[in-house]
Amino acid sequence: MKATILTPQVQRVGRTSMSSVVNSSIGTPSSSAASADRPGTLWQAMKNVVKRMLPETTRRRIYDKRWGPRRHPALGRVRFGSFRQLEPIDRHFGMQWGQCIDRYYIESFLAEHEADVCGRVLEVSDSVYTRRFGRDRVTQPDILHVTPGHPRATVTADLTSADHLPSDTYDCIILTQTLQFIYNVPAAIQTLYRILKPGGVLLATFHGTSKIARYDMDRWGEYWRFTTLSARKLFTEAFPESTVAVRSYGNVLVAIAFLEGLVAAELRREELDYCDPDYEVLVAVRAVKPRQDIQ
Ligand SMILES: C[S@@+](CC[C@H](N)C(=O)[O-])C[C@H]1O[C@@H](n2cnc3c(N)ncnc32)[C@H](O)[C@@H]1O
């Protein structure tokens, strides 16, 4: 029911069809749940007929009893405002306008774990976060890039096949917004585990909900969106379960704002910080390689 209103299919077909989709969804949760239980039964058909005959107020009462009070406005009363257009407000995450919404979360995650950023630190593509969050605790910053000859890189490697990288090397790896661009995620995580020193910490973030990052898509490819569940499963295949902490950031308002390319400053702090686990905009993982390899 919740998702029905904003599906791409609905956006494509426009207002008339949208009313019909929303309309048909009024009784949908109960009917779809029931039809999943008893597909095609006479009981189901009768229920549907009776439901259609009931006045709207009674249908609502039944719905509320089963699904909790609806906050859905009356049909046709949603005010779309600036969002009623097929082009996003900004196609480039709003990066020309201020802090991107995902960066607000990435940076609060790194700030929370800044004590981990110390010693020899590896970061992907640049060392902005190593310097900002590690400051003078960092003894050697390294920059990894997948493309050979990249001017900033001190390490060139495809994380899915990086046998040339020495094991047990890094105290901290900052892997922000990278895993979604790697097809073979388990292989990359195995490498990250291997090159961390015992006791070393991996700080990783990736999108749960996002538009395509076109720049990256056209270079190395963008393959994945993650959930806290898939992240936990992927990381605990390499790291011991007790050392993996996974969390999400975001809520429905943030998800919409982020997809539209609005920036963090356009939302209130309490709106950004409200976490609804059904709307995972950004997923973050802190994983520690144990001091004694128990694999
Ligand atoms: C958006 S950047 C992320 C790094 C940046 N520090 C950040 O916070 O956004 C995506 C990076 O993924 C890297 N990448 C893509 N495929 C890779 C692979 N197979 N192995 C290692 N890095 C890869 C690219 O080098 C690129 O710099």
The token pair that represents 26 in the structure block: 């009024």
Is 84 contained in some domain?
A: no
pLDDT tens digits, residue range 223-256? 999 999 999 999 999 999 999 999 999 999 999 9
Is 178 contained in some domain?
A: yes
Residues 137 and 246 in one domain: yes
Residues 272 and 170 in one domain: yes
Residues 180 and 263 in one domain: yes
> What average pLDDT does the segment 170-181 reach?
98
Residues 222 and 275 in one domain: yes
Q: How far is the CA of 275 from the centre of ligand 1 (A)?
A: 27
Pocket test for ligand 1, best of 93, 146, 175 (most atoms within 8 A of CB): 146
Residues 116 and 58 in one domain: no
Nearest atom (ligand 1) to Cα of 183: 19
Which residues in 225-292 belong to E strands, given as ranges?
Answer: 244-249, 282-288
Is 72 contained in some domain?
A: no
Q: Measuring CA to CA, which residue among 256, 283, 282 is closest to residue 267? A: 256
pLDDT at position 72, please?
80
Residue 44 reports pLDDT greater than 60: yes
Residue 148 reports pLDDT greater than 70: yes
Nearest atom (ligand 1) to Cα of 160: 19
Of 24, 49, 67, which residue constitutes the final position of a domain? 67
Nearest atom (ligand 1) to Cα of 184: 19
Residues 62 and 108 in one domain: no
Residues 112 and 45 in one domain: no
Residues 278 and 144 in one domain: yes
> What average pLDDT does the segment 81-93 reach?
97
Residues 246 and 196 in one domain: yes
> What average pLDDT does the segment 209-228 reach?
98
Hey, which of 7-11, 63-67, 126-130 has the most confident mean pLDDT? 126-130
Mean pLDDT of the residues in the chain: 87
CA distance 127 to 134: 10
Ligand 1 binding pocket (C-beta < 6 A) is: 123-126, 145-146, 158-160, 176-178, 181-182, 216, 220
Q: Measuring CA to CA, which residue among 155, 99, 100, 149 is closest to residue 127? A: 155
Q: How far is the CA of 236 from the centre of ligand 1 (A)?
A: 22
Residues 107 and 61 in one domain: no
Is 87 contained in some domain?
A: no
Nearest atom (ligand 1) to Cα of 176: 8
Q: How far is the CA of 255 from the centre of ligand 1 (A)?
A: 23
The CATH number of the domain holding residue 260 is: 3.40.50.150
* Nearest CA residue ID for atom 19, ligand 1: 158
Residues 124 and 239 in one domain: yes
Nearest atom (ligand 1) to Cα of 147: 25
* Nearest CA residue ID for atom 22, ligand 1: 146
Which residues in the chain belong to E strands, given as ranges?
Answer: 119-124, 138-145, 155-156, 170-176, 196-207, 244-249, 282-288
Reported confidence tier of residue 122, pLDDT bands at 50, 70, 90: very high
**Domain tally, the chain:** 2
Please give the model's pTM, rounded to 2 decimal places: 0.81
Say if residues 154 and 142 touch (Cβ distance below 8 Å). Answer: yes
Contacts 24+ apart (CB under 8 A), 26-31: 26/59, 26/63, 27/51, 27/59, 27/63, 28/1, 28/4, 29/1, 29/63, 29/66, 29/67, 30/62, 30/63, 30/66, 30/67
> What average pLDDT does the segment 49-58 reach?
84
Structural domain span for residue 15: 3-67
pLDDT at position 238, please?
98
Distance, C-alpha 210 to centroid of its chain: 7
Q: How far is the CA of 149 from the centre of ligand 1 (A)?
A: 15
Residue 19 reports pLDDT greater than 80: no
pLDDT at position 59, please?
80
Residues 145 and 56 in one domain: no
Is 157 contained in some domain?
A: yes
Is 258 contained in some domain?
A: yes
Is 94 contained in some domain?
A: no
Is 95 contained in some domain?
A: no
